[in-house]
Amino acid sequence: MNESERARRIVAKFGGSSVADAASIKRVAARIVAAKQAGNEVVVVISAMGDTTDELMDLALQVSPQPQPRELDMLLTTGERQSAALLAMAMNDLGVEALSYTGSQAGVITTAQHGNARIIDITPGRIEKSLEEGYVVIVAGFQGVSQTTKDITTLGRGASDTTAVALAAALGADVCEIYTDVDGVYTADPRIVKGARQVPRISYDEMLELAACGAKILHLRCVEYARREGVTVHVRSSFSNKPGTLVTGLVDMQKGNAMEEAIISGIAHDRGEAKVTVAGVPDQVGVAAMIFEVIAECDVNIDMIVQNVSEVATGATDITFTVPMSDGKKAVDALNAAKDRIGFTELRYDDQIGKVSVVGVGMRTHPGVTAKFFGALAAANINIQMISTSEIRISVVVGADDVDAAVRAAHTAFGLDSVSGEAVVYAGTGR
């Protein structure tokens, strides 16, 4: 946001590391005031301060090993309410009237699923009215209210991004600005790859794939929402005035565009999955279906799957798959409960893994991407545990300790290393 820009309607989201303490809240307030005074209508979506959400989660687990989902959501949403109110106070002191709203007050209507609710509607009447009256509106991110139960819900970790894009769509905003602790979207996480390159533009499809593979710079559902509603997302740092990255529809291939002729748009990693191995499964029709029905019934998403060749002696096979680590216990408990029905001999669980993915729409037409990726991992002495591919992605599971080295090896192998200096990480603990 700068003063030379024409008057627009802007939704600006500030992440937790941008509002980690009182001084940061004042700094962000000043930035928003400048945007407002330039004549823009401004809606701010705010995350909880620093690592507040993690700390609230830790606190809940100290009180109760398995907190009730409804109460956990009541607790976690206080993080965003706190930062929203503080930001409004700081702005009012700077002479710009601001009103903070909870997600529910802002009209964020969701499904009833605690911890991972989806936005089904936005009724932004109150926001529209406040904008008309000249206020800057500050909305607590990551939360809403269930249409059916009327209970307070959260939208999943990192979902303030999704609140922002959904509001931008509902309010017909010109742009959704996502302010964070790095200068935009890079070819890999700059916390791991110092020589990662920032890209000026990236297409929805590529950003979607990177986010789906774990690049936490944007919440996956935020990118889905932006693509569906055609919202331009502008990722930039709240600590600098650098131009950032535009996430848009078609990326033009003009000269000077960093994406020009790129085969690979980036390397993503994900430490949030665990590996479940169902060993000694009878190699018979219908058994795999039975296993995955059990997992589906407990509402756990499966990512990668590998089935081994059955052993001649026993006629049994092993099926290995990955699930979100947070759902690991649920999946294991459900399978153990169905042990006799499925007929397996052993269940193994391993959360010391990570997934590393090479993403790029250009790889469709370039053979040899897999060979190059695996060659780079071999040269770095990294063992591959699982593999999965799509038209525009290759993912491998490696040991948790190998994730950083694998990301760096792939980044270098695909010629993504920057020639113009190191990426800056301004804040945040990376938690």
Chain residues in the site for ligand ADP (CB under 6 A): 15-18, 47, 158, 180-182, 185-186, 188-191, 210, 215-217, 266, 425, 428, 430
Q: What is the dihedral of CA 109, 300, 273, 368, to 10 degrees?
A: -100
**Least distance (Å) from Mg ion to the CB of residue 19?**
12
Q: State which residue, 362 or 428, has the beta carbon closest to ligand ASP.
A: 428
Nearest to 424 by CA among 178, 219, 214, 195: 195
Q: State which residue, 135 or 186, has the beta carbon closest to ligand ADP.
A: 186
Q: At what angle do helices 69-93 and 52-63 cross, to 10 degrees?
A: 150
Q: State which residue, 103 or 158, has the beta carbon closest to ligand ADP.
A: 158
CA 151 to chain centre: 24
Q: Which stretch binds Mg ion (CB under 5 A): 48-56, 151-159, 339-347, 367-375?
A: 151-159
Structure tokens at 266: 């980036």
Contact 151/102 with Cβ under 8 angstroms? no
Q: Is 141 in the site for Mg ion (CB under 5 A)?
A: no
189 binds, among ligand ASP, ligand ADP, Mg ion, none (CB under 5 to 8 A by kind): ligand ADP
425 binds, among ligand ADP, ligand ASP, Mg ion, none (CB under 5 to 8 A by kind): ligand ADP
Collapsing DSSP to helix, strand or coil, 390 comes out as strand
Q: Is 158 in the site for Mg ion (CB under 5 A)?
A: yes
**Least distance (Å) from ligand ADP to the CB of residue 292?**
30
Q: How far is residue 370's CA from residue 393's CA, in Å, rounded to a whole number?
A: 10
Q: State which residue, 15 or 195, has the beta carbon closest to Mg ion.
A: 15
Q: State which residue, 42 or 45, has the beta carbon closest to ligand ADP.
A: 45
**Least distance (Å) from ligand ASP to the CB of residue 421?**
29
48 binds, among ligand ASP, ligand ADP, Mg ion, none (CB under 5 to 8 A by kind): ligand ASP
**Least distance (Å) from ligand ADP to the CB of residue 191?**
4
Q: State which residue, 90 or 211, has the beta carbon closest to ligand ADP.
A: 211
**Least distance (Å) from ligand ADP to the CB of residue 121?**
24
Q: How far is residue 42's CA from residue 46's CA, in Å, rounded to a whole number?
A: 13
Q: State which residue, 55 or 417, has the beta carbon closest to ligand ASP.
A: 55
Interface with ligand ASP (CB under 6 A): 15-16, 47-48, 53, 79, 141-142, 157-160
Q: State which residue, 181 or 318, has the beta carbon closest to ligand ASP.
A: 181
**Least distance (Å) from ligand ADP to the CB of residue 165?**
13
330 binds, among ligand ADP, Mg ion, ligand ASP, none (CB under 5 to 8 A by kind): none
Structure tokens at 134: 């000249």
CB atoms within 10 A of CB 72: 19
Q: How far is residue 293's CA from residue 302's CA, in Å, rounded to a whole number?
A: 11
**Least distance (Å) from ligand ASP to the CB of residue 261?**
34
Please compute Rg for the chain using Cα positions.
23
Beta strand spans in 164-210 (E): 175-180, 201-203
Q: State which residue, 18 or 317, has the beta carbon closest to Mg ion.
A: 18
Structure tokens at 67: 């907190």
Q: Which residue is nearest to ligand ADP (CB)?
A: 15
Nearest to 137 by CA among 149, 124, 146: 124
79 binds, among ligand ASP, Mg ion, ligand ADP, none (CB under 5 to 8 A by kind): ligand ASP
Helices vs. strands in the chain: H and E counts, helices first: 12, 20
430 binds, among Mg ion, ligand ADP, ligand ASP, none (CB under 5 to 8 A by kind): ligand ADP
Nearest to 219 by CA among 274, 165, 138: 165
**Least distance (Å) from ligand ADP to the CB of residue 425?**
6
**Least distance (Å) from Mg ion to the CB of residue 216?**
6
Q: Is 50 in the site for Mg ion (CB under 5 A)?
A: no
Alpha-helical runs (H) found in 94-194: 125-132, 160-170
User: How far lies 319's CA from each of 279, 300, 359, 390, in Å?
Assistant: 6, 16, 26, 20
Q: State which residue, 114 or 216, has the beta carbon closest to Mg ion.
A: 216
10 Å CB burial of residue 406 (0-12, 13-18, 19+) is: buried
Q: Which residues contact 31 (CB under 8 A, 6 or more apart)?
A: 1, 238
User: How far lies 239's CA from each of 20, 73, 236, 426, in Å?
Assistant: 12, 30, 9, 7
Binding positions for Mg ion, rule: CB under 5 A? 15, 158
